[in-house]
Amino acid sequence: MEENNDLNFNTRIDLEKLKDTVIQIKAELGKIIVGQEHFMDLLIVALLADGHVLIEGVPGVAKTITAKLLAKTIDTGFSRIQFTPDLMPSDVLGTSILNMKTSEFEFKNGPIFSNLVLIDEINRAPAKTQAALFEVMEERQISIDGHTYKMNPPFMVLATQNPIEQEGTYALPEAQLDRFLFKIDVGYPTLDEEILIIKTHQYRKGTLPQTLINSLLSEVDLLEYKNKIFEVLVEEKIMRYIAQIITKTRNHPHLYLGGSPRASIAILNASKAFAAINGRDFVIPEDIKKVLYPVLRHRLILTPEREMEGMTTDKVIEMIVQSVEVPR
């Protein structure tokens, strides 16, 4: 028993550095981004849990700039791809071109060959271009012309989309949505936040936001923090709690499609990262509740009747959470 206590104690000391780094990153982003605390938390958790993020919101609510600034706080590669209706898979992954000197084909890397990849308006590109991301998001590799190219860690896709009601979009297929750890809904700011946004913009006097952000996290430190998250303790009763919630989504009368085992694993990994950024080396039910909505909202499909009544997946998740007993 004493050995365990020592282990926990050591882990807690180690997590202090991680916790401090997260506070610094949030403070750095806070120079530009007003409010959006939960949004920033989820982005950092996804980075630590090795997941991809889908960010949804109307134009102008700082989806793209937040993703860009997060990439700036990490000392690693960054690329941005603007998805358009005429974008081809080769524009994303890369293509083989003929080298006139050697008379051989050489593979030219596409913009996906980076560490943090921001895909702007992912739902503007047709299905075949969206499908080009399947392998790279799940297996962190690309297979082209009989060759396999591995991605260098860290690798994370941050995709933004405007709500589907807007014209000229292609809805992401379920299998694609399932590849994202989180779907984060970014709403409008409150009145006080709006005033603060206007003030900070006025005081910046035309300075570009990116120039005000400093790099705080190296690739080596990030890898070390990710490894620490694997060590976070999850008790049997917490695992059972996750399984009970996911199982309830599969036979809920309001849902046409429930959560898959990938959703259970996503909740587990994300809740461990949440515990770690709060300086804890064990998961509590509150961690689970924090990640449930962003993990499940894009994986669940409502029955057509409930959708017509104006029901949302978030409301159904809330009903399920209330119906499952919280472990003590």
pLDDT at 215 over 50: yes
pLDDT digits (tens, 9 = 90+) for 229-251: 988 999 999 999 999 999 999 99
pLDDT at site 271: 96
- Choose one of 168, 198, 227: the last residue of a domain: 227
* Dist. CA 90–CA 87, nearest whole Å: 8
**Inside any domain, residue 40:** yes
- Choose one of 181, 207, 227: the last residue of a domain: 227
Top-confidence residue, 226 or 205? 226
**Inside any domain, residue 312:** yes
**Inside any domain, residue 216:** yes
Token readout for 80 is: 């941005």
CA angle, corner 78, sides to 158 and 179, nearest 5?
25
| Domain identity same for 169 and 273 | no
pLDDT band at 12 (very low <50, low <70, confident <90, very high): low
**Which residues have C-beta within 8 Å of that of residue 52, sequence separation ≥ 6?**
46, 137, 156, 157, 158, 159, 179, 180, 181
pLDDT band at 6 (very low <50, low <70, confident <90, very high): very low
Rounded to an integer, the average pLDDT of 36-49 is 92
pLDDT at 66 over 80: yes
| Domain identity same for 123 and 27 | yes
H runs (alpha helix) in 31-74: 37-48, 63-73
- Domains: count for the chain: 2
Strand extents, DSSP E, the chain? 53-56, 74-75, 78-82, 94-99, 104-109, 116-120, 141-144, 147-150, 156-161, 182-185, 217-218, 255-257, 301-302
Token readout for 112 is: 């996906």
Rounded to an integer, the average pLDDT of 10-27 is 80
| Domain identity same for 74 and 220 | yes
Identity (one letter) of the amino acid at 173?
Answer: P
Q: Full-prediction pTM beyond 0.85? A: yes
| Domain identity same for 239 and 260 | yes
**Inside any domain, residue 2:** no
pLDDT at 166 over 80: no
In 3D, which of 282, 287, 290 has the Cα closest to residue 231? Answer: 282
In 3D, which of 180, 161, 205, 228 has the Cα closest to residue 10? Answer: 228
- Choose one of 227, 254, 276: the last residue of a domain: 227
| Domain identity same for 41 and 154 | yes
pLDDT at 7 over 70: no
pLDDT digits (tens, 9 = 90+) for 104-158: 888 899 999 999 999 999 999 988 898 889 889 989 999 888 889 999 889 999 9
| Domain identity same for 221 and 304 | no
| Domain identity same for 153 and 275 | no
| Domain identity same for 73 and 180 | yes
| Domain identity same for 65 and 208 | yes
* Dist. CA 185–CA 162, nearest whole Å: 10
**Inside any domain, residue 21:** yes
Rg value, the chain, Cα: 21
pLDDT digits (tens, 9 = 90+) for 255-303: 999 999 999 999 999 999 999 999 888 999 999 999 999 999 999 999 9
Rounded to an integer, the average pLDDT of 311-322 is 93
| Domain identity same for 239 and 189 | no
198: domain CATH number?
Answer: 3.40.50.300
8 Å CB contact between 74 and 217: yes
* Dist. CA 123–CA 193, nearest whole Å: 29
Percent of the chain with pLDDT over 90: 55
Give me the count of residues in the chain.
Answer: 328
* Dist. CA 304–CA 85, nearest whole Å: 28
**Inside any domain, residue 6:** no
| Domain identity same for 199 and 241 | no
pLDDT at 175 over 90: no
8 Å CB contact between 256 and 302: yes
8 Å CB contact between 180 and 52: yes
| Domain identity same for 108 and 92 | yes
**Inside any domain, residue 7:** no
pLDDT band at 164 (very low <50, low <70, confident <90, very high): low
256: domain CATH number?
Answer: 1.10.8.80
Identity (one letter) of the amino acid at 117?
Answer: V
pLDDT band at 3 (very low <50, low <70, confident <90, very high): very low
- Domain with 315 in it: 233-323
Percent of the chain with pLDDT over 70: 95
Token readout for 258 is: 């429930």
Angle at which helix 261-277 crosses helix 37-48, to 10 degrees, equals: 110
**Inside any domain, residue 9:** no
pLDDT at site 145: 81
pLDDT at 165 over 80: no
Q: Say how far residue 173 (Cα) sits from the centre of its chain.
A: 17
pLDDT at site 5: 42
Identity (one letter) of the amino acid at 208?
Answer: L
